[in-house]
Amino acid sequence: MNTEQVEVVNPFDRKAIGHVSLTNWDQIDQYLNDAQKLFQHRKSWLPAHKRIAILNKVAELMKGRAEELAFQIANEGGKPLIDARIEVARAIDGVGLCIKELSHLAGQEIPMDLTAAGSGRLAFTTREPIGVVVAVSAFNHPLNLIVHQVGPAVAVGCPVIVKPASATPLSAQAFVHMLYEAGLPEEWCRLAVCKSAVAEKMVTDPRVNFFSFIGSGAVGWMLKSKLAPGTRCALEHGGVAPVIVDESANLESMLPALVKGGFYHSGQVCVSVQRIYVHKGHGSGLAQMLATEAKHLVVGNAIEEKTQCGPLINPAEVTRVESWVNEAVQGGAKVLSGGHRLSDTTYAPTVLLNPALDAKVSELEVFGPVVCVYETEDINHSIHLANSLPVAFQASVFTNHLDVAMKCVREIDATAVMVNDHTAFRVDWMPFAGRRHSGYGVGGIGYTMHDMTHDKMAVIKL
């Protein structure tokens, strides 16, 4: 048995807060063998009522430990407690949603007598679990993302091996252990905290039937290219979320949504507000209003109640964000707030006005507390710029005119367009996905459960 440990630190002060055992390839190889045998021997499948009972028990365990789970999210991931508590509530609801969606996971009758060739036959479909699932997750929602990947697998009856982000494995470990406590046999869900080379070997193994990935596009597309023949997948990457502000919009009323959407979790969200397009004459005023709010945000250790913006996940990310902002400023962007690091682990909430369109902050996902405001000629120019990148995820428009709202809904290249709300809005039963470079497949608990099953048809000759 491997005894090597991975130390987990608080990203604000870098103090050790726990550790988990590193999983080596020999252990993962055994996990894959166990999972494959479970799936191949159908008599070992857990009936739906047992899976429902396990998930109900997990939800109750999570409710009883909600504050402990929220503190752990803040402590290992740097998400402020106020937001970590919301994540826990969402995760509990997500487990419940897995149960509810099982009642909708059904087949249908296929009409056969539409031609003489099919006459005299009865046909219907059922849905079966797809097989062994391997899930690789991200750090920014260390409990809820695991629920979104592991919960559906357990619900539909797929054996699952989950690799959490190396920086935030404690929340995933807690959820897996609660599954065991609720009665799930360990071989149905395994935690694999492993090095990148081992993870790649696991993901691309031919025993894997479905690969779920949440993380960077570079890694996701690379792994997809190496999947074994027949392995299906879903990839969730990031975006550079655009917001269009129409001339009719009330700037003051939209301000709280833009602040929340841009600086929630210090911008470490795949659909965080990053590019705001405003008609000339209004951009400077909106940017200054945003900057005023940003200056009042409390930056600090996420485990402190007063903190509104926590640290970035590691010091290297602070250095990267700092370099991107410096490049934008050298290229002509005006800094209205922030624009500098506060410590080795924190960066000041930053508002930039009119960065160059080829600056990194304009073309790439910042994944930090940086919001950019651009002045445009008109609504068509704003839509053109919103659609100008190879990434496409969620977007938004603020307007008091229905025709403008519908124009943006029709013409913005995005999987979801929020009207009079920020780009990071989400409920867990809605489809959630990136287009083009931003992802592959559709997330959301019900959609993931559908992806982790497939149709089987019976045709009965009468």
Please state the rounded mean pLDDT for residues 155-170: 97
d(CA 75, CA 373): 32
Which pLDDT score is estimated for 282?
Answer: 85
Domain presence at residue 432: no
For residue 299, pLDDT over 70 is answered with yes
Domain presence at residue 210: yes
For residue 266, pLDDT over 60 is answered with yes
398 and 456 fall within a common domain: no
CATH number where 72 lies: 3.40.605.10
Domain presence at residue 307: yes
- For the chain, what is the radius of gyration of the CA atoms? 23
Which pLDDT score is estimated for 45?
Answer: 94
Domain presence at residue 44: yes
- Residues 122-151: pLDDT tens digits? 999 999 999 999 999 999 999 999 999 999
The pLDDT-based confidence of 226 (bands split at 50, 70, 90) is very high
206 and 256 fall within a common domain: no
- Residues 409-432: pLDDT tens digits? 999 999 999 999 999 998 888 888
Out of 76, 87, 101, 236, the active site residue is 236
For residue 445, pLDDT over 60 is answered with yes
User: Half-sphere exposure (CA, 13 Å, Cβ side) for 156?
Assistant: 31
DSSP percent split of the chain into helix, strand, coil, nearest 5: 40, 20, 35
219 and 272 fall within a common domain: no
Q: Model's pTM, two decimal places?
A: 0.92
The pLDDT-based confidence of 183 (bands split at 50, 70, 90) is very high
At position 299, the amino acid (one-letter code) is V
For residue 330, pLDDT over 90 is answered with yes
SS3 382: helix
Domain presence at residue 225: yes
Contact of 189 with 154, CB cutoff 8 Å: yes
For residue 166, pLDDT over 70 is answered with yes
Phi and psi at 410, nearest 5°, equal -75, -40
Ranked by mean pLDDT, the top range of 3-12, 301-310, 440-449 is: 301-310
311 and 397 fall within a common domain: yes
Domain presence at residue 442: yes
99 and 182 fall within a common domain: yes
Which pLDDT score is estimated for 426?
Answer: 87
Q: What percent of the chain has pLDDT over 70?
A: 100
247 and 230 fall within a common domain: no
221 and 72 fall within a common domain: yes
If residue 134 lies in a helix (H) or strand (E), which one and from where to where?
strand 133-136
115 and 80 fall within a common domain: yes
412 and 443 fall within a common domain: no
For residue 1, pLDDT over 60 is answered with no
253 and 273 fall within a common domain: yes
CA distances, 145 to each of 131, 231, 443 (Å): 20, 21, 11
Phi and psi at 274, nearest 5°, equal -130, -40
Strand partners, 236: 214, 439
Which pLDDT score is estimated for 433?
Answer: 87
200 as an active site residue: the answer is no
230 and 327 fall within a common domain: no
Domain presence at residue 433: no
For residue 2, pLDDT over 60 is answered with no
236 as an active site residue: the answer is yes
- Mean pLDDT (the chain) is 95
346 and 386 fall within a common domain: yes
Domain presence at residue 23: yes
CATH number where 339 lies: 3.40.309.10
For residue 402, pLDDT over 90 is answered with yes
Which pLDDT score is estimated for 431?
Answer: 87
Range of the domain at 33: 5-237+438-461
Out of 270, 309, 372, 408, the active site residue is 270
Q: Which residues, other chains included, contact 156 with Cβ-Cβ below 8 Å and sequence gap of 6+?
A: 102, 105, 127, 129, 130, 449, 452, 453
The pLDDT-based confidence of 95 (bands split at 50, 70, 90) is very high
Total domains present in the chain: 2
d(CA 158, CA 128): 9
